[in-house]
Amino acid sequence: MSGYLAKMAEQEFEEVVLMHDATTGLQAAIAIHSTVRGPALGGTRMWLYPTENAAVEDAMNLARGMSYKSAAAELPLGGGKGVIIGDPCSDKCEALFRAYGRCVERMNGRFITAADMGVAEDDLDCIKAETCHVIGGRTLGSPSPYTAFGVWKGIRACAEEVYGSPDLEGLCIAVQGIGSVGQALCKHLAEEGAKLIVADIDQSKVEMAVELWGAKAVGRDEIFSQQCDIFTPCGGGGAINEESLPLLRCRIVAGAANNVLREEKYGAALHERGILYAPDYIINAGGIIFVEYSRQGGKDVDAIKTDIARIEGRLKELFRRSREQKRLPEEIADIIAEEKLKEKSEHFLSG
Which listed residue (7, 69, 81, 265) is catalytic? 81
**Rounded Cα–Cα distance for residues 25 and 4 (Å):** 24
Q: How confident is the model at residue 227 (pLDDT cuts 50, 70, 90)?
A: very high
- Does 100 lie in the same domain as 174? no
What pLDDT does residue 351 have? 36
Strand residues in 156-310 grouped as ranges (E): 172-176, 195-199, 216-217, 230-233, 252-253, 276-277
Is the predicted pLDDT of residue 350 greater than 60, yes or no?
A: no
What pLDDT does residue 348 have? 53
Higher pLDDT, 141 or 88: 88
Does the active-site annotation cover 69?
no
Residue 302, in any domain of the structure: no
What is the maximum span of the chain, computed from C-alpha positions, in angstroms? 58
- Does 177 lie in the same domain as 109? no
- Does 205 lie in the same domain as 322? yes
Mean pLDDT over all residues of the chain? 94
- Does 102 lie in the same domain as 31? yes
Model pLDDT for residues 79-100, shown as the tens digit of each residue: 999 999 999 999 999 999 999 9
Is the predicted pLDDT of residue 131 greater than 90, yes or no?
A: yes
What are the residues whose beta carbons fall under 8 Å from the beta carbon of 136, sequence distance 6 or more? Answer: 114, 115, 121, 124, 142, 143, 291
- Does 237 lie in the same domain as 167? yes
Contact 198, 209 (CB under 8 A): yes
Is the predicted pLDDT of residue 118 greater than 50, yes or no?
A: yes
Highest mean pLDDT among 55-64, 107-116, 162-171: 162-171
Identity of the amino acid at 150: G
Domain membership of residue 113 as a residue range: 4-69+77-128
The pTM of this model reads 0.87
